[in-house]
Amino acid sequence: MDVSAQLASVFTAAAPRPELAEHLNVFEPLIGSWSLVVQNFGEDGTVQTTDAEWHFGWALDGRALADVWISPARASRSGDTDGEWGLSLRFYDPELGAFRSTWLGPGRGWVIPFIGRRTEDGFALEGDKNGVRLRWTFSELTAESFSWRAEETEPGADEPFVRQRFQARRTSWQTGGHRPPH
């Protein structure tokens, strides 16, 4: 087995561990692959729109959820366009009673830890980067779509600034997994 296949075989999992399923089931609707319409909002009011892809799966013997985010999507790239790639790893911390999540963005050198909790229609991740409060929210989760929003609150600011919004549409289900009900 080549090293890529070996790494995939020890990193990925078919399902969450049974004793963690109750806590990890908030992520179940995300398992699979998604195409995204990404809106990036500038401080000056400009909006840049691009596409992206996002892939979610169980990891680390079913103890975590891993995802890889790629923008622009590989299918729409031309020439030497590199874009951004990122990885998140999320797991339930029983002592905290919440999720720990870390975003790794190697293109920008970002490592951002978050604490996540369920919301009425999804979950939200809260963290801090250089004194700026971050809130990343997954909402309107269904078997076929979801919304995502990144908010930033500068020190001393009363209101958050919406930095990004994603609209996601499912493109595939996890291989070997089950299709969530509609």
DSSP readout, 71-118? ES-GGG--TT---EEEEEEEEEETTTTEEEEEEEETTTTEEEEEEEEE
Closest Cα partner for 103 from 86, 83, 82? 86
Percentage with pLDDT > 70 across the chain: 95
What gap in Å lies between CA 106 and CA 89, rounded to an integer? Answer: 14
pTM here is 0.90
Q: How confident is the model at residue 180 (pLDDT cuts 50, 70, 90)?
A: very low
What gap in Å lies between CA 52 and CA 165, rounded to an integer? Answer: 12
- For residue 15, the model assigns a pLDDT of 94
Residues 17-47 have pLDDT tens digits of 999 999 999 999 999 999 999 999 999 999 9
Q: What is the CATH number of domain 3-170?
A: 2.40.128.20
- Letter for the amino acid at 94? P
What gap in Å lies between CA 65 and CA 16, rounded to an integer? Answer: 8
Domain residue limits, the chain: 3-170
